[in-house]
Amino acid sequence: MSRNELKQSEQRRKIVHLLRSHGISPTVQRVKIASAILARPQHLSADQVLELTNRTGRPVSKATVYNSLGLFARKGLIRELFVDPERAFYDSSTHPHHHFYNTETQEICDIDDDAIQINLDAMPPAGTEISGVELVVQIRPKK
């Protein structure tokens, strides 16, 4: 086995373990999708994940990619970011953090953790608690 094949085999084992540790059955398609989105810290749309997933090997259907990304988000493997009513992105970094979203280029980038402090004086409705705060700051090129 070549060095590259050994590296790919080890990477696949890690992805399979990660999926199982999140309660996700590691099908061939899910391993391929997870490998694409978890390759590095990144923010991708479902269509971008589909493109990355289908660059090599057997193609994965669009429905499988969308369903798998939804499952991964529900299980806490990735974060689902809704930047506008028609667009969602998937973030491979699951720690709490905020984002800039460029409305013209449709690119997302992280905001440094220390850059934003939120002071929330409002009390949530009775019987509830705040489970998190996610801020998406929309930006555009200067005119």
**Tokens for 39?**
């390759």
5 has a pLDDT exceeding 80: no
| CATH number of residue 76's parent domain | 1.10.10.10
pLDDT of residue 4: 74
Task: For 78-129, write each residue's pLDDT tens digit.
Answer: 999 998 888 899 999 998 899 999 999 999 999 988 888 888 888 899 999 9
Residues 99 and 108 sit within 8 Å (Cβ to Cβ): yes
Amino acid identity at 27? T
Q: Element (H or E) spanning 84, and its range?
A: strand 79-84
Residues 31 and 16 sit within 8 Å (Cβ to Cβ): yes
Cα separation of 26 and 42, whole Å?
22
Number of H helices, E strands in the chain: 4, 6
Our count of domains for the chain comes to 1
Range of the domain at 46: 3-139
Residues 79 and 116 sit within 8 Å (Cβ to Cβ): no
pLDDT of residue 83: 87
Give the 3-state secondary structure of residue 123: coil
pLDDT of residue 14: 95
Mean pLDDT value across the chain: 92
Across 24-33, 66-75, 115-124, least confident range? 115-124
Q: What mean pLDDT do residues 32-46 have?
A: 95
6 has a pLDDT exceeding 80: no
